[in-house]
Chain A
């Protein structure tokens, strides 16, 4: 249903004129205060993301990946270090860096259309963006549901609306915080392919946090594996496979073995 014509492109030809931004994460550390004691979640994390890359962040749960995403989104400032988009330091949230959370977090009092329209509305350019809102809803295949309220949607549909709500802003970086984590496994597989197609069509830089090793390898051009809290980078490798990928590909299995080993699960192979 989504831009499948573009799905034949290989990673080499993906070095196309890209709408994505570069992201430099430079020596970032972050900690929380919990009842007086300090909880270190990120420890001198550094990596650079090239424009248009699809980077998956893997790591044990609670290791601080989601915190890193909040820092990239600009929802919180880091305790130490700097995050830069296209060379400019991130100082706050911006519609060019939109987050899709694990929960769709749709506004229950707004229809699908008005949920998607919130970005343009908040930026005061709803009038000229009406067509874009319709397009974004059509892009995720929910054109018939634009007047529905969130409580009338299934989990997968709600997450598609959340995706449309992000894409309508034409983000240069799309931040995905376990966006498919709560979906049933079939919807999840379908939406993985849809995400790849959207990314190929739009050319944004994608940062995905997931717990699913297979999902990370199926979607991304690069995987970064974090240690236990406080998170340090343990491994950082390219997924050198063309799209569309095939789940049975032996190279994927190989990379999966390597990832699980890095996550301390070698004995399960």
Chain B
């Protein structure tokens, strides 16, 4: 009975795999056709390569669709991924038609897909340098701001003296958008690099402080009673009870801080620093190189997404004792 139903399910997903695989192959053939068979409105050197790539993907998908009867793993992969492969192919085809072929989108402001590929093939060194510069600003600023915010939050939650001094400052400075301080920061700091680090760190420190503080304040007081009767010193109460108990809040703080860091990073780069993806975007726009603008935005999106993913991975590790964590 069970083997019978497994067989039917297997056959059904096999048939679905073939159909979906062939549909995906067709969609990528459409990418190849729209790109390669129609003349370009502008001058795009990578058009032919994109058409070839589309055709190769179409052939590979068609081959997989036929071979998936032999390999069940391939069949499952096709069933799982084909809808997205089809959607991406249709999006690329419409984009291709609307920009390079029919010119519905005003040129040169909306380059076709091959325009993006062109930047990756010709300008990869410049793009790579910009990526490294942005990542460096982001990471260094995030670490400074995160450490300061964490220590500030623990002090606020733990020490009345610290709360007396930090709380008013936090309430006054915290809500101010760090970008408002931009002109002051850029002449107050010796270099635009250190100014940008400060800007990112400032944006990170506020949510980190508030969330860490909330975390410390919400620790179950019985945890302290137990630890005290077991002989814990005040320092041990902070390190072994207060901080681990507040970590779930700290990670919410890190998540919010990361968002704030992206924003102030872009502002810093668009207005001050002479390196990084924000600067690359600004500079390309000045040259009217809109395909570079789009490419840099794409790389930036990848950088931000990767950072968030990394944060969630660390959180999953550190908070593995918690039930019901959101998966990213």
Contacts and interface: CB of A to CB of B under 8 A. Distances in A.
Contacts of A73: 225, 229
Interface string B214-257: 00000010110111111111001000110011010000000000
11 contacts: A94-B229, A98-B230, A99-B225, A101-B222, A105-B223, A105-B225, A109-B247, A118-B227, A122-B227, A122-B232, A149-B321
Contacts, number: 67
Given A103-B222, A107-B241, A93 B229 contact: yes
Interface residues on B, range: 20 to 34
A109 B231 CA distance: 19
Contacts of B327: none
B223 A107 contact: yes
B317 interface: no
A119 B228 contact: no
A109 B230 contact: no
Contacts of B245: 107, 109
B222 A169 contact: no
A107 B245 CA distance: 8
A75 B225 contact: yes
A118 B229 contact: no
A99 to B, nearest CB: 5
A121 interface: yes
A214 B34 CA distance: 86
Task: Find the residue from A95, A118, A150 having the highest chain B CB count within 10 A.
Answer: A118
A65 interface: no
B321 A108 contact: yes
Contact of A75 (B223, B228, B321, B322): B228
A179 B155 CA distance: 34
A97 interface: yes
B323 A122 contact: no
A160 interface: no
A122 B240 contact: yes
Contacts of A109: 244-245, 247, 319, 321
Given A75-B229, A93-B228, 14 more contacts: A70-B225, A74-B229, A95-B229, A99-B226, A101-B225, A105-B222, A105-B223, A108-B321, A109-B244, A109-B319, A110-B244, A119-B231, A151-B323, A169-B230
The 9 closest A-B pairs by CB, nearest first: A122-B232, A119-B230, A95-B231, A123-B231, A93-B228, A93-B229, A105-B222, A109-B321, A109-B244
Contact of A118 (B222, B240, B319): B240
A74 B229 CA distance: 8
Contact of B231 (A103, A105, A122): A122
Interface residues on A, range: 20 to 34
Interface string A151-180: 100000000000001000100000000000
B321 to A, nearest CB: 5
Contacts of B247: 109
B229 A97 contact: yes
B28 to A, nearest CB: 47
Given A99-B226, A118-B240, A108 B322 contact: yes
A165 B240 CA distance: 15
Contacts of A108: 321-322
B223 A95 contact: no
A101 B227 CA distance: 12
B233 to A, nearest CB: 7
Task: Find the residue from B226, B228, B240, B244 having the highest chain A CB count within 10 A.
Answer: B226
A197 to B, nearest CB: 23
A159 to B, nearest CB: 13
B231 A94 contact: yes
Interface string A132-158: 000000000000000001110000000
Contacts of B231: 93-95, 119, 122-123, 169
Contacts of A150: 321
Contact of A151 (B220, B226, B227, B321): B321
A108 B222 CA distance: 13
Contacts of B227: 118, 122
Contacts of B230: 95, 98, 118-119, 122-123, 165, 169
Interface string A67-86: 00010011100000000000
Contacts of A97: 229
